[in-house]
Structure 1
Amino acid sequence: MRTIELNGVLIITILLVIFASHNLLAQQFNLNNSKSTMSIFGTSSLHDWEEVIEEQSGSIQLSTEGEMAIVNLNVSVVAESIKSDKPAMDKNTYKALKTDTYKSITFKMTDFKNMTDLGNSEYQVTVSGKLSISGVTKIVDLTFKMKTTTNAVTLEGEKSLNMKDYGIEPPKALFGTITTGEKVTIKFKSILTN
């Protein structure tokens, strides 16, 4: 009976050590919305424009076993938190994005492609993942710079997209006299902390 108890304690101890070591080798950081920035830049027949994303969330999981690698990365944006300084433009944006039905824009990594060490805990990273906008999901590559510290990860980069690839008709204003360009560029600086 004593041997069975000791074996049980030994098995539990081994499992705890394995679980603890896994946590040490894979560390998760969560996106800090108040410290992160994300903006959308575009063109129109009148002037260039910018919209700011006010609500985003997400996480990154890094593996430090051997070479640094990203195990998991996901970001979610509240579609109606996309704001300009013009309420009419915001209304057109939400209509184009069909925010009545599709509340979020999401990116979920599916493939960690490569990482180049730039020195000073900075890396050039390329991942591939599912980008879902207005109910349309496409696989896209995303390249960005990543800087790591003990308590935080900073991701900084940009991605150009064609709205029509996601079934989005570029918004128009003033009865169609002002037209928006099909292409937009999303620029981000995401701060993730543990």
Structure 2
Amino acid sequence: MVQFKTLRLLVVFLILGLFNQVDLVAQNYSVNNQKSSLLVLGTSSLHDWEITAEQQKGTIQIENTEQFALKDLTMTFDVNALKSGKSSMDKNTRKALDYSDYKTINFKLTKVKSITKKRTGYSVVAVGNLTIAGTTKSIELPFTLSPLNGTVSLSGEKDLKMTTFNVEPPTALLGTITTGDEITIQFNTVFN
């Protein structure tokens, strides 16, 4: 009888111990496309422009150990869903990104350079492979990571040059309107 009570007590303690260890397990989250935004900002010889990524897919894996750890991050953007509100500009964008051969833009985390605890989240510098129009380059991506009520949001911005990815900056009206090589990516991506 004593042995049975001891065994039962041991099982209860093991179960309680497992519940306390839940935070040690990596948690996976997927992009909530409805709550996420990504803007591409650029210039041209006529005016500044912006394009919105209407379709984002991706996952993030976070481990809540004593020291917070970002284990994985992947993002995919559908080139056909990059919209400016102007059909001719959208067509030029797809052409510049060689949409017939490369349907998506992809980012894959390769390492975390730094994570710094802040008041309401973490300041992260990630390194990953960004693939645009078939060209892959390693980039540093700084962002703020904020876990809140079962969601995780990443927000930040990154300056890039189109030519780094072998993308010819689009032109219009027989080359009389040219776009600048430099673009800025602004993002607020929500995962749940």
**Residue 139 of structure 2 is aligned to residue 167 of structure 1:** no
**Residue 58 of structure 2 is aligned to residue 53 of structure 1:** no
Partner of 2:130: 131
Q: Is the 8 A contact 2:23 2:65 kept in 1?
A: no
Matches within 5 A, 1:167-186: 167-186=166-185
Deviations 1:93-148 (A, max 9, x none): 0000001110000000000111111123x111011000000000000000001111
The number of equivalent residue pairs is 176
Partner of 1:155: 154
Q: 1:81 offset after TM fit, Å?
A: 0.4
Separation of aligned partners in 1, 2:23 and 2:100 = 40
Partner of 2:119: 119
Partner of 1:4: none
Q: 1:23 offset after TM fit, Å?
A: 7.8
Give SS of 1:181's match: coil
Q: Is the 8 A contact 2:133 2:167 kept in 1?
A: yes
Please tell me the residue identity of whatever aligns with 2:49: W
RMSD: 1.8
Separation of aligned partners in 2, 1:156 and 1:72 = 16
Deviations 1:170-191 (A, max 9, x none): 0000110000000111100000
Q: Percent identity?
A: 42
Partner of 1:141: 140
Separation of aligned partners in 1, 2:142 and 2:108 = 14
Separation of aligned partners in 2, 1:149 and 1:49 = 33
Separation of aligned partners in 1, 2:73 and 2:145 = 12
Deviations 1:143-170 (A, max 9, x none): 0011112410010001111000111000
Deviations 1:31-78 (A, max 9, x none): 000110001000000000001110011011111112111000111000
**Residue 26 of structure 2 is aligned to residue 40 of structure 1:** no
Q: 1:24 offset after TM fit, Å?
A: 4.7
Separation of aligned partners in 2, 1:168 and 1:141 = 19
Please tell me the residue identity of whatever aligns with 1:172: T
TM-score by length of 1: 0.87
Separation of aligned partners in 1, 2:33 and 2:149 = 19
Matches within 5 A, 1:101-116: 101-116=101-116
Give SS of 2:33's match: coil
